[in-house]
Amino acid sequence: LLSFCSFAQQKNYIPAKSNLQMREWFQNNKFGMFIHWGLYSILGDAEWVMNNEDIHVNDYAKLEDFFNPIYFNAHDWVAQAKRAGMKYITLVTRHHDGFSMWNTKYSDYNIMHTPFHRDIVKEIAEECHKQGIKIFFYYSLLDWRRTDYSYWTGRTGQGTGRSVHGKWNDYIQFMKNQLTELLTNYGTVSGIWFDGYWDQTPEEGKNRKDTTFVDWHIRELYDLIHKLQPQCMVGDNHHLTPLPGEDFQMFERDIPGQNAHGLSFQKVSQLPLETCATLNDSWGFNIKDDNYKTLKKFVDLLVGAAGSNANLLMNIGPMPNGKIADPFKEKLDSMGVWMGAYGESIYGTRGGYLPLQKWGAITQKNGKVFVHILSDNVSEITLNDFPYRKITKCYLMQKEQNPQNVQWKIRDFGKHQIEVVINNFPKPTPSNPDVVI
Ligand code: FHN
């Protein structure tokens, strides 16, 4: 009976009060910066270069000698995130290439063995704490280098396909040791953002009986994190419906409920939600990728996420010299200006009572309904099943200007069936892509 109880207890994750507060903070703050930066940045061909270009693991490791980002300045990066209106940073501490961006005791393949010789995780975490930005750590479960990793993704020089061998428990222990370091030496960590789980699991709804999958011992990792820092939110980009022990659910490149990019087929849960996307098309620095999102696309994503009750985690891939390329900076700064004017309709809100509409989205807070018109092809909007019976004011939201009234009428069908019709509003433009009422 005793052992049954302890098993049941372990399955039943009860988040600490501080964790629930962190979830609330997360949902109120809505907007974060994702940073993919590592050895791969040197090659300027994004973070999958080792795999995509079939670079032998030993050749790839030569990059260690070239990582010397002389212009890196943690203060400037954090200040850049703040200027954009972002409230947290999710930093890649170790990507699939297995290189650790901090001073870890558990692997020599780390930042202290480069000519740069500075603990980047420490510098960024400290700066975040100083500037009042929360820090989340991205941590890859998948590893393309370690020989104790039972890999699925092929590796040049080590054969392709599946390799399962006896050292798996060593790999699990290695991850526990590294996670313990990250959660011990860098102050308050607001979240751990896992990735790579998908390397060892079938897709949701698919049963890959043809192969065996190793056990991630994932619950042990989650429990360890919560033991070390109970407030720390655990999320796992496994593209599955959340597993017990997780505190938030992320969606890659898509707003929850949509699946244009093929990685978001999972169910939308009741946990705090996050969409991650990137400002051009690459996560890591890609010298050939100039496909930067317009301000309109950026705002569409943020508003669409907020309207769907999700945060937006927007990625940048800094250059190997430590600079953030100008187009990233420009986009972030223009978003900052937009947030300065319209942040009230994003921060602290929850998703609208209606799902995303063809014309835009709704966010809500404290008895206010923010109607975001993102399409320039609409002149009248009907809000069915309006949640309030009375409207005291309806106006265009514009900072430092007198609120400009908008025409509206209520249709009351009785039995709490209210419909609001709004018209006579300006059209969104490329420089002001969201008309907020
Ligand atoms: O393989 C990674 C990829 O490099 C990148 O880190 C993204 C970010 O969400 N996640 C993985 C793919 O799901």
Query: How many domains, in total, are found in the chain?
Result: 2
Task: Work out the percent of the chain whose per-residue pLDDT is above 70.
Answer: 90
User: Are residue 347 and residue 387 in the same domain, yes or no?
Assistant: no
| Strands laid side by side in the 380-383 sheet | 380-383, 418-423, 407-412
Asked whether residue 144 falls in the same domain as residue 212, the answer is yes
Q: What is the pLDDT at residue 402?
A: 60
Residue 304: which domain range?
Answer: 10-351
For the stretch 185-215, what's the b/e string if a residue is b when 16 or more beta carbons lie within 10 angstroms of its beta carbon? ebeebbbbbbbbbbbbbeeeeeeeeeeeebe
Pocket of ligand 1 (CB under 6 A): 47-48, 195, 237, 252, 276, 283
Residue 236 sits in the same domain as residue 384 = no
10-residue stretch averages of pLDDT, the chain, 437 residues long:
42 94 98 98 97 89 97 98 98 97 98 98 98 98 86 52 68 97 98 92 65 82 98 96 96 93 89 98 98 97 98 98 98 97 97 95 96 96 91 80 76 81 91 92
Is residue 129 located within the same domain as residue 270? Answer: yes
- Ligand 1 center to 417 CA (angstroms): 45
Q: Please tell me the predicted confidence (pLDDT) of residue 247.
A: 98
Whether residue 4 lies inside any domain: the answer is no
Residue 92 CA, closest ligand 1 atom number: 6
Report d(CA 191, CA 136) in Å as an integer.
4
What ipTM goes with this model?
0.99
Rounded Cα–Cα distance for residues 227 and 16 (Å): 10
pLDDT score of 371: 97
Q: Whose CA is nearest to atom 7 of ligand 1?
A: 283
Q: How far apart are CA 149 and CA 187, in angstroms?
A: 29
Domain stops at, among 322, 351, 380: 351
CATH code of residue 111: 3.20.20.80
* One domain, residues 259 and 392: no
CA 47 to ligand 1: nearest atom: 4
Domain identity same for 388 and 313: no
The answer to whether the beta carbons of residues 139 and 94 sit under 8 Å apart is yes
Which tokens is 330 given?
Answer: 């420009």
Does residue 189 form part of some domain? Answer: yes
| Rounded distance between C-alpha atoms, residue 343 and residue 296, angstroms | 15
Same domain for 232 and 194, yes or no, is yes
Task: Give the pLDDT of residue 10.
Answer: 52
Same-domain status, 169 and 273: yes
- Write down the pLDDT at residue 5: 38
Domain boundary among 330, 351, 372: 351
| Six-digit token string for 14 | 């009860």
155 CA to middle of ligand 1, Å? 17
Q: For 22-32, write each residue's pLDDT tens digit.
A: 999 999 999 99
Burial of 134 per CB tally in 10 Å (0-12, 13-18, 19+):
buried
- Within-domain flag for 3: no
* Residue 199 CA to its chain's centroid (Å): 19
Same domain, 346 and 368: no
